[in-house]
């Protein structure tokens, strides 16, 4: 393991006015928890002890917490809280809908009892009417937790209002479900705005079809989302180092990003050394904790 002097030699965090102390409202770094790789308690402890000041949140991606013993989840959550790191459920709520109307309330209570701070709602996977989505947001808030809807830029064609009724929530005559997915950034923004009005704390933007790879990154969509919703209320998934670097160079250290645990150090170096020059070496193997 490299010493902290090697990791942090590029910047003086005490002198960096763009990086306030936690809890931060902007410049948030949310870290992916167990999903693609198995993170043991010891490994997570190493992450928090060496990089805890740079990690704002931990997300149990893909409903991974549903496969783990509750005792393990509780220990991980307690460990995160000791380092002022909030913990998010990730997108799992959609798997509860088949259990009936009361299942979501029970899910909120269980998340609260476990110590989760944030419940994420994958809007595309939920597949519920907008008013139901807004009700879920209000239920989460009334339960004392933070709500973070996650949006993709493509919607099922059946869910897109037609004709002159572009305002989401207007009555649309039921139509057969389509399998066609259609890009509609304006609908994304309108729905996100209504979620924020209902009390949502942050809007998560899925990387698919927007920023999965830098070669196909949709700068126009990112600019429109940030322009309408603001940096403070949006978080983007940076699925690789080059994408994270693009966001920092384009929008500065205040952009909120969701990254893999292996990217945390490189991302923080870019946040504090944002001069427009390339620092690709920050993401190289010599700066990887694991």
Each residue's pLDDT tens digit, 138-178: 999 999 999 999 999 988 777 776 655 555 555 555 667 66
282: pLDDT strictly greater than 50: no
Distance of CA 113 to the CA centre of its chain: 22
Which pLDDT belongs to residue 64? 57
3-state secondary structure of 277: coil
Q: What is the DSSP letter of 1?
A: -
Instruction: Give the model confidence (pLDDT) of 110-125 as tens digits.
Output: 899 999 999 999 998 8
Average pLDDT rounded to a whole number, residues 262-288: 63
Highest mean pLDDT among 95-99, 120-124, 177-181, 201-205: 201-205
SS3 of 88-153: the string is EEEECHHHHHHHCCHHHHHHHHHHHHHCCCEEEEEHHHHCCCHHHHHHHHHHHHHCCCEEEEEECC
Look at residue 279 in the predicted model and tell me its pLDDT: 42
Q: Which of 99-108, 206-215, 255-264, 271-280 is most confident? A: 255-264
pLDDT at residue 89 tops 60: yes
Joined tokens for residue 23: 């809890």
pLDDT bucket at 5, cuts 50 / 70 / 90? very low
**Higher-pLDDT residue of 99, 273:** 99
Provide, rounded to the nearest whole percent, the portion of the chain with pLDDT above 70: 73
Distance set, CA 86 to CA 28, 35, 52, 117, 177 (Å): 11, 18, 11, 6, 38
Q: How far apart, in Å, are the Cα atoms of 105 and each of 61, 135, 137? A: 21, 11, 11
The stretch 254-260 carries a mean pLDDT of 94
Give the separation between CA 232 and CA 79, rounded to whole angstroms: 26
pLDDT in tens, 29-80: 999 876 545 556 678 888 899 888 999 999 987 665 566 778 888 988 999 9
Ordered DSSP codes for 202-236: -EEE--TTTTSSGGG--HHHHHHHHHHH-STTEEE
Give dist(CA 234, CA 242) in Å, integer. 19
- Any idea how long the chain is? 290
Quickly count: other Cβ atoms within 10 Å of residue 126's Cβ: 19
202 vs 94, which has greater pLDDT? Answer: 202
Lowest-confidence segment of 58-67, 241-250, 273-282 by average pLDDT: 273-282
* Measured distance CA(197)–CA(74) in Å, rounded: 32
pLDDT: which is higher, 201 or 63? 201
* pLDDT beyond 60 at 4: no
Cα–Cα dist 196/149, whole Å: 9
């Amino acid at each position: 393991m490299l010493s902290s002097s090697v990791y942090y030699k590029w910047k003086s965090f005490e002198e960096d006015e763009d990086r306030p102390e936690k809890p931060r409202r902007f410049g948030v770094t949310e870290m992916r928890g167990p999903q693609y790789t198995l993170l043991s308690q010891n490994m997570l402890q190493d992450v928090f002890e060496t990089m805890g000041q740079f990690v704002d949140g931990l997300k149990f991606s893909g409903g991974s917490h549903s496969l783990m013993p509750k005792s393990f989840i509780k220990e991980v959550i307690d460990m995160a809280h000791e380092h002022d790191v909030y913990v998010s459920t990730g997108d799992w709520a959609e798997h509860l809908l088949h259990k009936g109307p009361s299942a979501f309330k029970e899910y909120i209570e269980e998340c609260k009892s476990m110590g989760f701070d944030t419940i994420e709602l994958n809007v595309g996977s939920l597949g519920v009417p907008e008013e139901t989505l807004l009700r879920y947001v209000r239920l989460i808030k009334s339960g004392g937790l933070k709500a973070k809807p996650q949006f993709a830029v493509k919607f099922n064609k059946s869910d897109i209002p037609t004709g002159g009724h572009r305002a989401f929530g207007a009555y649309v005559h039921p139509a057969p479900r389509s399998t066609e997915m259609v890009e509609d950034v304006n609908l994304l923004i309108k729905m996100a705005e209504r979620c924020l009005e209902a009390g949502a704390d942050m809007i998560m933007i899925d990387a698919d079809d927007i920023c999965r790879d830098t070669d196909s990154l949709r700068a126009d969509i990112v600019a429109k989302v940030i322009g309408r919703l603001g940096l403070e209320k949006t978080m983007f998934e940076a699925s690789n180092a080059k994408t994270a670097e693009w966001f920092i160079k384009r929008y500065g250290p205040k952009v909120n990003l969701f990254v893999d645990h292996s990217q945390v150090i490189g991302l923080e170096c870019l946040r504090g050394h944002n001069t427009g020059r390339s620092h690709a070496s920050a993401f190289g193997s010599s700066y990887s904790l694991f």
